[in-house]
Amino acid sequence: MMSLDSISILISSVLGLGLAIPSNTCIVMGNLDIIRKKGKLSPTDVIFLAKGIVNLLLQCVLSLQGMTFVLCPSFFYVTKVRGFMNTSIYFLTYYNFWLTFWLSAHYCTTITNLSYGFFIWLKRIVSNLLSHLLFLTALGVFSVSVLWFWAINEERTPSSENSTESSGNRFHFNLLYVVPSNTVGCILPFCLSLLCLVLTSSFLLRHVWRVKNNDSGSTRPNLQAHVTALRTIFFLLLIFTFFCGYQVLLFLENSSLFIIIWNSRLLSPSVEAAIIFQASNKLRRTILRRFWTRSWRNTET
């Protein structure tokens, strides 16, 4: 009989598939529709398209891992299977984090208009060479995520006498591989994205304060788009936090918290899709127009 933890993981795996696949497919199809009509995507839309594709693949691998862990644990602990799943999950996760940084950098350089040479250079390459940056980032992140194939070594230890199972599984992590991979794949993009968020927030706060204290009687500018950008980066950084909690709990023996974080990870691609939808009015209009046209045609026939 399955335990409550196993049931929760199985439910989250199925629910994640049911939510993430349609939502992220809409993101991909919506951006492809924009390309078909306009022939070109903005840097923000390019990153959203990449995130949609990455989240589709990530959700499939995460759900496959969860279902395998619950329904076929002996297959789950096979070294090659575990190595493939871990390498795929960490590659897609790390790449998603770097996509968040490039999105944060684009928002920061567009909103703040900082005159420092580094930000001028960053704005230029994000605007003109974004596709090349995303490709090079994928190559670098893949080489880092491969370290996880060697980072996890399984050690089978006897279970306690009161346990009904004959053996258990315990994972040991080689810090020589774990520390550099997490530093490059998670900590570095998190710190850079947080820096962009702080710079953008401080710039907008100073701008609002100056306008509010301006005696010329000029009207306050509409900052809704900027606020949406800040909200998007903030929510994406929260997903970073959940992943960091997942990584910390790998070294601890608090199984209840680990299961909670694992279930959150299984639903994270769906949450990211919701964040992208609230961030892009263009994408929402394209998808609504597409479904409205299709439903109207169905009613006509």
pTM: 0.84
Residue 146, classed as helix, strand or coil, is: coil
Which domains are delineated in the chain? 4-300 (1.20.1070.10)
Quickly count: other Cβ atoms within 10 Å of residue 224's Cβ: 9
Residue closest to 59 by CA, chosen among 25, 34, 107:
25
pLDDT reported for residue 34: 82
How many helices and strands (H and E) does the chain possess? 12, 2
Token duo for residue 229: 């950008």
Q: Of 188, 192, 184, which is closest to residue 143 (Cα–Cα)?
A: 184
Written as tens digits, the pLDDT of the chain (301 aa) is 678 888 999 999 999 999 999 999 999 988 888 888 887 888 899 999 999 999 999 999 999 999 998 888 888 777 777 778 888 998 999 999 999 999 999 998 888 877 777 778 888 888 888 889 999 999 999 988 887 666 655 444 444 333 333 334 445 556 677 778 888 888 899 999 999 899 888 888 887 787 777 655 555 556 788 888 889 999 999 888 877 777 776 666 566 777 888 888 899 999 999 999 988 888 888 777 766 665 555 555 5
pLDDT of residue 38: 80
Sign of CA dihedral 108, 114, 119, 120: positive
**Residue-wise burial string across 158-169, b where 16 or more C-beta atoms lie within 10 A, e elsewhere:** eeeeeeeeeeee
